A = this chain, B = another copy of it.
Amino acid sequence: MGSKLTSRKADYSKWYNEIVVTADLAENSAVRGCMIIKPYGYAIWEKMQAELDKMFKATGHENAYFPLFVPKSLFEAEEKNAEGFAKECAVVTHYRLKNDEKNPGKLMVDPAAKLEEELVVRPTSEAVIWNTYKSWIQSYRDLPILINQWANVVRWEMRTRLFLRTAEFLWQEGHTAHATRAEALEETKLMNQVYADFVQNYMAIPVIQGTKTASERFAGAEETYCIEALMQDGKALQAGTSHFLGQNFAKAFDVKYATSEGGLEYVWATSWGVSTRLIGALIMTHSDDNGLVLPPNLAPIQVVIIPIYKGEEQQILIAEAAEKIKLSLESKNIRVKFDNRDKFKPGFKFNEYELKGVPLRIAIGPKDLENGTLEIARRDTLSKTVVSQDKIVDFVQEQLKQMQGDLFDNALKFREENITEVNDFEEFKHVIEGQGGFVSAHWDGTNESEEAIKKATKATIRCIPLNNVEEEGKCVFSGKPSIQRVLFAKAY
């Protein structure tokens, strides 16, 4: 504590890593690319899980749990999916260690315990789940199946960053089965909307909903819907995806259902997921050079009360008043911490909770006791207000609400200022290299132009926005005819 963070301007990436570690959110582990999510970081994830879980259940989904391991023969059944994940998966080949006789006290893989078939640690669960749905689905009466799973998954990424890209991460994955194409498409869109609602209303992050181009789609999907957010450094971040899988997995695993008319049809599928990566988006949308800034709706601690006193007598009187305030706030379901630790000075605590992004800080000292007042500081604006103790509950409620709204509004304003319409490729490169942000430009719809743009600028097509206005134009790269603008950006 006490040491300052690197500023965002000086080194955004370094600033990010420092926040994650100094705010006690997560740290690297002894396992390459795997992180340890510390209690404070995990408490944020728990809040996110709780809200998402409610939303999933309110839309008719149930939770279940499927195995961590995917036998290689199932893994390879849906070819595109397998191809997409084969290069980055952890493979279990043995089921036993034995004493290493050459190195006493050490263990070695027991060659006699080689598995007949290798097991892939799930990078995603379509294969294992569709292999199961095969036996769950016989007729239209068994549909739809609306299941979600909270789980860990492993993708052997070469370059990892805390929360944003880790070899193991936590996520939820929805896997649904439907009788018709239309119903599956509706589900895909519904869940993308659920994600948008969650990210905007709880995380205070504005998102653009859209679909991915063929090259950016989930391996095995016919269409990928997504929500895209913009970080402070002008790079985009894919915050959630919802996939329309068509009948690809049903065909790969031979999942058919008897229709009400007596026919036999392949089942239609969707899958959708968000992960601990969202915590990275949360940090990079709201935080500042003083540390983390958390939206009240997700903050594990919404209000911290810090006593300021000299001597034990004062401490006792102030603690009494503070406990009373704590109780009155808690009666309104506000999450409050009273930090009465004697071994740390108020200044140290101020710094700690600023770094940890606690939305509101109440300081209470001897003068406040005399005057019946309190000092309240807001984390986002750093503004301080002296408030009468008997008005504190209303004031806190209003400030939390205000702060939640302000964070969203500021992020939205930033994003709006950072969507640039461009019409030629020089300008495109200029914006991408300079200001960054989303570039709205015409694209001819071909993979060739998309690839060439990516190669030249590192910008990818983040999405084709939903409800895009059709507009005749010329591809910013090839000059060929185009019917709409799409959003480009460099991305996390």
- Considering only CB atoms, which chain B residue lies closest to A37 in the complex? B65
Q: Does A475 contact B (CB under 8 A)?
A: no
- Considering only CB atoms, which chain B residue lies closest to A120 in the complex? B97
* B95 lies within 8 A of A343 (CB): no
**Distance A97 CA – B76 CA, assembled complex (angstroms):** 10
The stretch from A26-34, A241-249, A400-408 touching chain B is A26-34
Task: Give the interface residue-count category, chain A.
Answer: 35 or more
Residue among A30, A62, A67, A92 with the highest chain B CB neighbour number at 10 A: A67
Q: Does A42 contact B (CB under 8 A)?
A: yes
Q: Does A106 contact B (CB under 8 A)?
A: yes
* B343 lies within 8 A of A141 (CB): yes
* B96 lies within 8 A of A93 (CB): no
- Considering only CB atoms, which chain B residue lies closest to A91 in the complex? B94
**Distance A89 CA – B119 CA, assembled complex (angstroms):** 13
Report the minimal beta-carbon distance from A171 to chain B, rounded to whole angstroms. Answer: 12
* A156 lies within 8 A of B76 (CB): no
Residue among A119, A147, A343 with the highest chain B CB neighbour number at 10 A: A119
- Considering only CB atoms, which chain B residue lies closest to A154 in the complex? B68
* A63 lies within 8 A of B43 (CB): yes
- Chain A 319-341 against B: per-residue CB contact (8 Å), 1 yes, 0 no? 00000000000000000000000
* B90 lies within 8 A of A36 (CB): no
**Distance A332 CA – B168 CA, assembled complex (angstroms):** 41
Report the minimal beta-carbon distance from A294 to chain B, rounded to whole angstroms. Answer: 17
Report the minimal beta-carbon distance from A275 to chain B, rounded to whole angstroms. Answer: 12
Report the minimal beta-carbon distance from A33 to chain B, rounded to whole angstroms. Answer: 9
Q: Does A79 contact B (CB under 8 A)?
A: yes
**Distance A151 CA – B106 CA, assembled complex (angstroms):** 27
- Considering only CB atoms, which chain B residue lies closest to A66 in the complex? B36
Q: Does A75 contact B (CB under 8 A)?
A: yes
Interface residues of A in 92-130 (CB under 8 A from B): 92-99, 105-107, 109, 118-121, 128
- Considering only CB atoms, which chain B residue lies closest to A343 in the complex? B141
Q: Per a CB cutoff under 8 Å, which of B29, B74, B88, B105 touches A95?
A: B88
Residues of B within 8 A of A120 (CB): 97
Q: Does A12 contact B (CB under 8 A)?
A: no
Residues of B within 8 A of A62 (CB): 39, 42-43
- Considering only CB atoms, which chain B residue lies closest to A72 in the complex? B107
Residues of B within 8 A of A151 (CB): 152
Residues of B within 8 A of A143 (CB): none
Residues of B within 8 A of A147 (CB): 39
- Considering only CB atoms, which chain B residue lies closest to A53 in the complex? B46
Residues of B within 8 A of A90 (CB): 69, 92, 94-95, 119
**Distance A31 CA – B75 CA, assembled complex (angstroms):** 12
* B68 lies within 8 A of A46 (CB): no
Report the minimal beta-carbon distance from A159 to chain B, rounded to whole angstroms. Answer: 14
Q: Does A476 contact B (CB under 8 A)?
A: no
* B79 lies within 8 A of A105 (CB): yes
Report the minimal beta-carbon distance from A301 to chain B, rounded to whole angstroms. Answer: 12
Residues of B within 8 A of A94 (CB): 90-91, 93
Report the minimal beta-carbon distance from A51 to chain B, rounded to whole angstroms. Answer: 15
* B168 lies within 8 A of A67 (CB): yes
Q: Per a CB cutoff under 8 Å, which of B66, B68, B74, B93 touches A93?
A: B93
Given contact pairs A36-B132, A152-B152, a sample of 18 additional A-B residue pairs in the complex whose CB atoms are under 8 Å apart:
A30-B71, A30-B128, A31-B70, A34-B69, A38-B64, A42-B63, A45-B65, A68-B168, A69-B168, A75-B97, A86-B99, A88-B96, A89-B96, A89-B97, A90-B95, A91-B95, A97-B120, A151-B152
* Chain A to chain B contacts (Cβ below 8 Å), 20 pairs: A29-B66, A30-B132, A34-B68, A36-B65, A36-B66, A38-B64, A39-B62, A42-B62, A42-B63, A42-B64, A45-B65, A68-B121, A75-B97, A82-B97, A86-B96, A86-B99, A87-B97, A87-B98, A89-B97, A91-B97
Chain A interfacial positions (CB closer than 8 Å to B): 27, 29-31, 34-39, 42-43, 45-46, 62-72, 74-76, 79, 82, 86-99, 105-107, 109, 118-121, 128, 131-132, 141, 147, 151-152, 154, 156, 168, 170, 343
